[in-house]
Amino acid sequence: MNRRKFMALGVTTLGFGAGKMASAVRPAGAPGTGNDDRAQESAGLPLEAYEPKSMLHLPSHPVSGSRFPLIDFHTHITEGDAHGAPGAVRFEISPETCLAVMERRNIKTMVDLTGGYGEGLRDAIHKLQDAHPGRFIVFTEPAWDKASDPGYSRLQAELIESAHRSGAKGIKVLKGTGKLIAIDDPRFDEMWEAAGALNMPVAIHISDPEAFFLPIDRFNERWEELHAHPDWSFHGRDFPSNLALQEARRRVMRRHPRTQFVCLHVANAENLKYVSECLDEHPNMHVDIAARIAELGRQPRAARKFFDSYQDRIVFGTDASSNANTPQQLFGDKLYQIYFRFLETEDEYFDYTPAQKPAQGRWCIYGIGLPEPILRKVYWENAARLLGLPANPGAAA
């Protein structure tokens, strides 16, 4: 049976035609030649057990802390609490845990995007922003649960104004809202306008990797990721296409030119040409790089040009959380060190994730070695401008 047939049958096995031969020629006593291993390889190595190690001999320049103090614009320190009142959040990472990592890695400020609303929001602001001035910033989220109520438009705008009075510095908008509402639905117009009037940037997550919209078959480059999380696939479901979602977001940015939008995950990291067109057309558009160094880092020349062209519109972010379902963005020292290495060095072919196996696909990344002025903008200045912080991190509280 050839490899294609194996995959078509949905078997998570790599057929090693020469498996027997491979173990026969390996010297006795070499690692991985135990009887069990040998038997397994003869029978075919399961894809999930396959962990190839690169044999390239390359210089490596690990980066312990970022060269300049930075703002992580995209984290999830708190998350919505499904068991609590509407708008309630619970702490997924403690402020103390955050501060220890921040100290070690030269992170000045973390933005907690998922701060909820109402009482939940005030609690997050109290424990993060008020307790540790300058170190944390909290965003609010729309009250999706009320979106079908009469008078929602005005109510939502008022909730944003009240969140602003409580200290929220921006708004986070998620694409999936239970009952799907188009992002350019007119009932959100008052909210976008309120955000603009209050200088609250809107962090907006719309699209997902293109592979999530395609069949989960042998051609799908995220087969392993989707195999582990079949519910992440939009294929065959009643869901707008990736492009339709992107275009809806563009209509929002066009209609609300006073409002600043930060399109999360590089807006569409797999298609930098399209993102460039969007940035050219919409001066109120910005992007973060959260959870997309696996995409940027495997197109290092295109990515480097992109950073050159849009150096005033890109902000640093990781999407760090404590969620075990997304090991590629697990909050901790190692996560940040990989981002720093990607941005600051020209190292070649290294892992994009601290996870033991590449969670999103079997490839490695290349550093883009940003020059100091661009690094300062991406690490601090661009986000500081959006958040109303001083241009110099040393002057921030």
Which span (5-13, 137-145, 211-219, 318-326) binds Zn ion, by CB under 5 A?
A: 318-326
Work out how close the CB of 48 gets to Zn ion at its nearest, in angstroms, rounded to a whole number.
26
Among 208, 288, 295, 319, binds Zn ion (CB under 5 A): 319
Q: How far apart are CA 375 and CA 383, in angstroms?
A: 12
Q: Which CB sits closer to Zn ion, 19 or 80? A: 80
β-pair partners for 373: none
Q: How far apart are CA 143 and CA 190, in angstroms?
A: 14
Q: Which CB sits closer to Zn ion, 41 or 319? A: 319
**Cβ-Cβ contacts under 8 Å for 236 (sequence gap 6 or more):** 215
* Number of residues forming the site for Zn ion (CB under 5 A): 1
Q: How far apart are CA 336 and CA 320, in angstroms?
A: 9
Q: Which CB sits closer to Zn ion, 184 or 319? A: 319
Instruction: Pick the closest to residue 266 from 208, 213, 227 (CA basis).
Output: 208
Neighbours of 177 (CB within 10 A): 13
Q: Which CB sits closer to Zn ion, 345 or 360? A: 360
Check: CB of residue 283 under 8 Å from CB of residue 309. Answer: no
Q: Which CB sits closer to Zn ion, 164 or 175? A: 175
Work out how close the CB of 291 gets to Zn ion at its nearest, in angstroms, rounded to a whole number.
7
Residue 168 backbone phi and psi in degrees, to 5: -65, 140
> Beta strand 78-80 with 89-91: parallel, antiparallel or unpaired?
antiparallel
Does residue 79 touch Zn ion according to CB under 5 A?
Answer: no
Q: Which CB sits closer to Zn ion, 110 or 374? A: 110
Work out how close the CB of 292 gets to Zn ion at its nearest, in angstroms, rounded to a whole number.
11
Query: Strands, E, within 126-245: which ranges?
Result: 136-138, 171-173, 202-204
Work out how close the CB of 9 gets to Zn ion at its nearest, in angstroms, rounded to a whole number.
35
Determine the residue with CB nearest Zn ion.
319
Which span (161-169, 313-321, 348-356, 370-378) binds Zn ion, by CB under 5 A?
A: 313-321
Assign 270 to helix, strand or coil.
coil
Which span (43-51, 166-174, 232-240, 316-324) binds Zn ion, by CB under 5 A?
A: 316-324
Binding site residues, Zn ion, CB under 5 A: 319
